[in-house]
Amino acid sequence: MSTHDAAPVRFDTKIAVLLREDLETWQRLNVTAFLVSGLGTQFPEVIGEPYADADDVAYLPMFRQPVLVFEGTKETLTDAHARVLSRALPRAVFTSDLFTTGNDRDNRAAVRAVPTAELDLVGLAVHGPKNAVDKVLKGARMHP
pLDDT digits (tens, 9 = 90+) for 130-139: 999 999 999 9
The string of pLDDT tens digits covering residues 92-120 is 999 999 999 989 999 999 999 999 999 99
Check if the beta carbon of residue 116 is closer than 8 Å to that of residue 87.
no
Mean pLDDT for 27-56 is 92
Supply the pLDDT for residue 5: 61
* % of the chain exceeding 70 in pLDDT: 97
Q: Tell which residue, 107, 139, 127, has the closest CA to residue 17.
A: 127
Question: What is d(CA 135, CA 8) in angstroms, rounded to the nearest whole number?
Answer: 25
Question: What is d(CA 32, CA 35) in angstroms, rounded to the nearest whole number?
Answer: 5
Supply the pLDDT for residue 1: 45
The residue length of the chain stands at: 144
Provide the Cα torsion 24, 40, 104, 18; round to 10°. 30
Check if the beta carbon of residue 127 is closer than 8 Å to that of residue 15.
yes
Mean pLDDT for 78-101 is 96
Model pTM greater than 0.75? yes
Q: Would you list the DSSP string of 45-82?
A: GGB-PPEE-TT--EE---BSS-EEEEEE-HHHHHHHHH
Question: What is d(CA 46, CA 29) in angstroms, rounded to the nearest whole number?
Answer: 21
How sure is the predictor about 123, in pLDDT bands with cuts at 50, 70 and 90? very high
Question: What is d(CA 60, CA 122) in angstroms, rounded to the nearest whole number?
Answer: 28
Mean pLDDT for 22-35 is 96
